[in-house]
Chains A and B, each alone.
Chain A
Amino acid sequence: MKRSLRWDRCVSHRANAAETFLTDFFKAPRRRIGLIAGAGFDPRSAKVAESLSLVAGGRIRGLFLREERPSPHGNLLASAEENDRRLRELVPGAIIERFDIFDAMDNAPVGSRRVINLLRSRFDLSDLTDLVIDCSALSAGICFSIAKYFYEITRQTLTNIHLVVLDNPATDDAIESTNCGQPSSPHGFQGAWRLHEWANAAKLWIPQLGHGKRAVLELVHKFVEPHAVCPILPFPATSPRSADRLIESYGDLFESSWQVDARDLVYAHEKSPVDLYRSILVIDDARKRVFKEMGGSQIILSPVGSKALALGMLMAALERDFAVVLVESLAYSAAAQVLDVQAAPRGELVHIWLHGEAYGLPAPSEGAES
């Protein structure tokens, strides 16, 4: 029996349609908007704030988050300071909060827990009609936890939650990262796969493949020890050879420790997070039937590639309580031209209406599965 998906009919837009939506929707004077975004070095930090301030100036309450990592490079700091200044200009009265992604003493990835504490103490949703979470300049683990926190506390209200991201794979690829070496789950996405009751479950790991992410994915694979691996490849994609290049990069892993064959590959439209969301849930439905009598099935997701596709994983994880495992970045580096806000390409705006008026209140029985 086919199960209904929460976001089967999802309100989502991309590129011009998303920009138009943003303008038309938020220009209504009754909309009181909360904006949560990164205020780091990423050249996309202030772009969404710019767009919103043009149509809803004076109606935005901003909380901008600076992810602090040990020993950042000077050019990144300078860029972050510039973005910080720009955001304060665009959203007067905005709060800019710094928080540690890694514990100062032992370098443990603690950012996703600490950001929740920050949101609880520094951000009040009560008089807002809409909350926009701009994931463009936030790391995946942080924006997953933020989205889950607000999704949970607004579930019984009609406060709208919008996820937006400026999708620009070129900028993503140009920012190099050093992983911390320790796989972890963003807070709220630990899933149930490590519980005794799921000890005999068949574990499927669905990693999003990305260039330069091999070391990270090897760590996650070792940590998860899955029974099967279904890597996600972007297809259709802007660059039609993109999937081939990824297969070339990861081919030896496919053939050795991952044991992936052609039937295991999941192709997801590079520009459609909702496509990926649906694909993952279809896989889950099929596996639940197959493994029902044999200890059950558990799916573990790893969003380490394009940020737009990561939103599809986020939706799937929110709906089915899938575990998410990734490796937080300890440090970033980027060339000066990548950080140049004026010169950096804007990228295509992706918008997902996650919760609120468009869907109505959830039925009492509807809830995240565990």
Chain B
Amino acid sequence: MENPFLRRATEFLRDDEAFLAIVSPEPVSFYLQTPGKNGALYDRLVQLRGTPGSGKTTLARLFEYPTLQTLLRNQSFTGHKDLFAALSACGAIREEQPYVLGCRLPMESDYRDFWEFPYPNEVKTTLMASLLQARTVLGWFRHLRSASGISPDQVELITRPESHSVLDTIGGVAGESVLRRAAEVENRIYKVMTALVAPPEASLLEEVGEAYKPFDHIDRIRVPVIQGSETTYRDLVPLAIFDDAHVLHPEQFRAFEHFLVRRELRIARWIIARFDVLLPEEALAAAIEDRSDPTEYPGVTSGRDTEPILLQSSGRRRKQRERFRALAKDMATRYLRRMPLLNEKGLTVLGNLLQEDEVGLTPGKLKELQGRVSATQKRLRVSDTQRDNFEAQVRTFWGEKTPVPRDVALGMTNVMMHRLGVRKRRSNPSLFGDEADESEPSITVAANGSVYEAALFHLFQDYDRPYYYGIDNLCDASSENAELFLRLSADLVDAVATQLARSKPPSLTPSMQHKLLRDRGAWIMDKWNYPQESSVRRVVQNIADLCLKKSMEPNGAVIANAFGIPQSEFDTLATTAPETARTLQFAVAYNAVTLVPNHSCKNKEWCLLELGGVALLKYGLTLKRGGFIEGTAQQLGEFTREAVR
């Protein structure tokens, strides 16, 4: 049986129906509803940025004209209603008709080549912009024909009043001639682009023809709408979506952005890119900003002239995590519906298939743990009264709904006794060791969330108690990346299908989930293959080693999954250690690390490098955020340099 979780969302792109069935409306509402409602999506340059797999292309694909038409045709289908509502709220659909004529142009490959031409930058940018405009126009016509059967002769361009004298350059306003002109421009420029030896600049005019700038002139595209015997006309807002623009040279990217940001353009235009396109200092700055602002040109104001949208964990992190959990659960349900074996049995809620109870140690391991706690008590000279007090606190912390599991109670007591020991040593430094009064009343150790987390972590590391299980942990391990969530879920879903095939209960025990997730995480990390991957791998390995060592301290003071450097050192990293910054840029771009800037701790500002979910699974670290190892930029540089050696 085919497992849809193993396929990337973009693999469904060719078939609109299949694509719509798996897309969740949540990111549309979250990221695009506000700018859609106030019109910012359609009247200025929109800059969408995110990591691979964060859903950039999926979002863009939703706004393409054929997708909107397919959605409108099938709006009564289960699961389409909320998508319809989300796109309507963004203004992409109005009066049950598409409002935009969207066309997505992947920018991989060809366009970067323009920057290799032996011409001045301005000429190179003009050539590229002309080709992109021609292809966008061709795309609009292609979509109208394929999705609505509207032929070019039924299309008319509505242009800006001041453009009338130069409309010949774009083929006029009649659809057929506009299409013909765009195809001619594409062919001419493509010939120049693919020529083994670029023609001399002086002959370019002859090769390419006169300037071609349809974006400067087009305002709306008028198409017929046939309702019964009546034909009305509708003016669509042309939308050009330039996907994967990070492949452009940084200067080329800026020049193209500059071209698109101009206020006189009436068409809607979006640029979608990963962080790779930015220089390290900009990429790192963008990754830590809630709203990136890379466009700084004279007279251009972010917010008024551009609409930056960051599809990346940043800002209010707890809210981001909660939002991603909701998105992931919805997405899982849509994917499970595509698996007949599960769908027929109504098993479409992934959370219900991932058991969260019946976690515990085997009797043998429990006995071993009891022995260890007793030994700790003896070694640290903790009185029975004090231990009873700790155990009572643990019961209070746990609550009365269910009895506290024995292994958790023992684990927490063990951590509390170690905390007491540390504090006693600190408050009574003595030549004779721990001779201080055991019942020191001023030293208090409370059973709280931190003790609980430390106990669970130690039980996992020392006694192999399942640690990674349940839908929320699965979501948290995905680093808020939809594609990673699907890849991590794939093995779990396969295991569920196997259980069903063997006539066993479908849900997976915590220990099964734990094993499958750890194996999958290690497998994904082993398959990492991207620029500077070996340096990134070494940085991750070093951070993980430090975190593990710290987290295993018996008092569980810090259960860490991050490395912190002073914020001031991070701010100058791109200039003081460019190679480290470059490595970090790719680590962030490929979700190996998440940056948490301006983290206050011990009266200092830190920038945390939090390990991504895959590394946390592989190295067995906590998914809970906050615990970090204090370090320096120099240490970070050493991690990187080791890899280069």
Contacts and interface: CB of A to CB of B under 8 A. Distances in A.
Interface stretch (B105-113, B375-383, B421-429, B431-439): B105-113
Given A106-B249, A113-B116, A190-B193, A215 B527 contact: yes
Contact of B109 (A148, A178, A184, A215): A184
A105 B196 contact: no
A197 B249 CA distance: 28
B111 to A, nearest CB: 10
A105 B531 contact: no
Contact of A105 (B142, B250, B530): B250
B277 interface: yes
A interface: dominant SS: mixed
B272 to A, nearest CB: 16
Contact of B186 (A110, A181, A196): A196
Interface stretch (B3-11, B350-358, B538-546, B555-563): B3-11
Contact of B108 (A182, A257, A331): A182
Contact of B187 (A195, A215, A257): A195
Interface in A246-260: 256-257
Contacts of A192: 190
- With most chain A CB atoms within 10 A of its CB, the pick from B108, B194, B644 is B194
B529 A178 contact: yes
B586 to A, nearest CB: 9
A256 B6 contact: yes
Interface string A33-59: 000000000000000000000000000
Contacts of A123: none
Contact of B249 (A103, A145, A149, A196): A103
B187 A181 contact: no
Interface in A185-216: 185, 187-188, 190, 192, 194-197, 199, 215
Contact of B194 (A110, A152, A182, A190): A190
A116 B112 contact: no
B135 interface: yes
B530 A181 contact: yes
A220 to B, nearest CB: 11
Nearest to B251: A105
B109 A187 contact: no
A222 B197 contact: no
Contacts of B533: 178
Interface in B224-277: 247-250, 276-277
B196 A183 contact: no
A179 interface: yes
A110 B14 CA distance: 30
Contacts of A148: 196
A190 B531 contact: no
A330 interface: yes
A341 B521 CA distance: 40
A310 B251 CA distance: 35
A183 B112 CA distance: 12
Given A178-B534, A188-B194, A183 B249 contact: no
Contacts of A222: 8, 10-11
A223 interface: yes
B525 interface: no
A113 B249 contact: no
B644 A179 contact: no
A108 B14 contact: no
Given A183-B109, A257-B7, A330-B531, A105 B197 contact: no
Report the 8 A-B pairs with minimum CB-CB distance, sorted nearest first.
A196-B138, A190-B194, A113-B116, A215-B529, A181-B530, A108-B112, A188-B196, A106-B249
Given A179-B529, A223-B108, 13 more contacts: A103-B249, A108-B249, A110-B112, A148-B196, A178-B533, A182-B247, A187-B113, A190-B194, A192-B190, A195-B187, A223-B109, A225-B13, A256-B7
23 contacts: A105-B249, A105-B250, A108-B112, A108-B115, A108-B249, A113-B116, A120-B197, A178-B529, A178-B534, A179-B529, A181-B529, A182-B108, A182-B109, A183-B108, A188-B196, A195-B186, A195-B190, A196-B138, A222-B10, A222-B11, A223-B109, A225-B13, A257-B11
Interface of B: 2, 6-8, 10-11, 13-14, 108-110, 112-113, 115-116, 135, 138, 142, 182-183, 186-187, 190, 193-194, 196-197, 247-250, 276-277, 527, 529-531, 533-534, 644-645
Interface of A: 71, 74, 103, 105-108, 110, 113-114, 116, 120, 145, 148-149, 152, 178-185, 187-188, 190, 192, 194-197, 199, 215, 222-223, 225, 256-257, 325, 330-331
